[in-house]
Amino acid sequence: MANVTKKRVCVTGGTGFLGSWTIKRLLEDGYSVNATVRLHPDQKRDISYLTNLPGAAERLQIFSADLDEPDTFAAAIKGCDGVFHMAHPLDFAEKDTEEVKLKRVTTALRTILRACADSKSVRRVVYTSSISAALFSAAAVPEDENSWTDVELIRSLNTFGGAYVVTKTVAERAAVDLAAELDLDLVSVLPTWITGPFICPNLPDTVHISMALINGDKGHYQHLKEASLVHVDDVARAHIHLLEYPAAKGRYIVAAAQFTIQELSHFLAAKYPHYQMPSPDLWKDVTAVKSSGLSTKKLEATGFKYENGLDEMFDDAIKACKEKGLM
């Protein structure tokens, strides 16, 4: 049974894949939640998937806030014990330039962290970074929390999603530096590809990527060739665990299952024989965007345990896709 005496926390980016699932998990755990959502008067947005969650009527408050107007986050942060800062523009299509994105993200970040410091109530900020902020470095595998992506390397490669990788890396560094300046307790969470169930209405990009072998999406075989996945509920639980764990400090990688595309193909073929797996010839010459060889010892040393493996990840992702008519 939920402990209803738990304090109030804020989740920015509440309508996203991870944000919405974290809100669900927080309510189940007995927290009161302030969620920020981009709501525009002229653009009605259905957020019933949040407001209809068990416990939401009593313990969920929705606040309209926009990264382009960062002062709008202060009301949601006021009076909170903890803040999960998850809001980040996900623009893989790269409609905006890297410079525009960086300015938007870092300006909002500074304002949000200052609001946390000014609140006098926020005990800790749990900042959602990404494994992409650690993966692309000269460090030897296995990668750990000491590894930072070389943004100049990413810029020179000029690859798909490069601006996202750069903004996540620069923003996390800015968050760490500003938190130190403000004497604010901040920990970063670096999840790998997240998959599993989702309550948001659209198919999350990372779930789509994780299911590339089932969907025959050749463009994403590079992301699965030497990869790691984690269930969305384990990522949400890791965030909450790091808010609650007194000695949490610095960065934490979250990655549950690590595999090659061949191993994943064998697993999926055995578990779901009705889905035709593609021929290995289709990926043999693909250059891997490697996300395996990760160490999560630091997180596990805090007492955190993963509850979901590949079975749960794919069972839950497929079920959610079917329920929403997406496959």
> Residue 36's domain is classified under what CATH number?
3.40.50.720
pTM equals: 0.94
Distance CA 101, CA 112 (A): 16
Classify residue 164: in a domain, yes or no.
yes
Structure confidence at residue 2 as a pLDDT band (50, 70, 90): very low
Classify residue 127: in a domain, yes or no.
yes
Give the total number of structural domains in the chain: 1
Q: What percent of the chain has pLDDT over 90?
A: 77
Q: What is the pLDDT of residues 60-105, one digit of tens each?
A: 999 999 888 989 999 999 999 999 999 876 555 556 777 888 888 8
CB 10 within 8 A of CB 36: yes
> Which pLDDT does position 68 carry in this prediction?
86
Classify residue 314: in a domain, yes or no.
no
Round to the nearest angstrom and report the end-to-end CA distance of the chain: 35
Classify residue 129: in a domain, yes or no.
yes
**Residue 251: domain span:** 8-197+229-255+293-307
Classify residue 206: in a domain, yes or no.
no
Q: Which residues contact 103 (CB under 8 A, 6 or more apart)?
A: none
> Which pLDDT does position 4 carry in this prediction?
47
Classify residue 165: in a domain, yes or no.
yes
Classify residue 212: in a domain, yes or no.
no
> Which pLDDT does position 276 carry in this prediction?
95
Round the CA-based radius of gyration of the chain to a whole number and report it.
19
Classify residue 317: in a domain, yes or no.
no
Structure confidence at residue 145 as a pLDDT band (50, 70, 90): very high
Q: What's phi and psi for 94, nearest 5 deg?
A: 60, 55
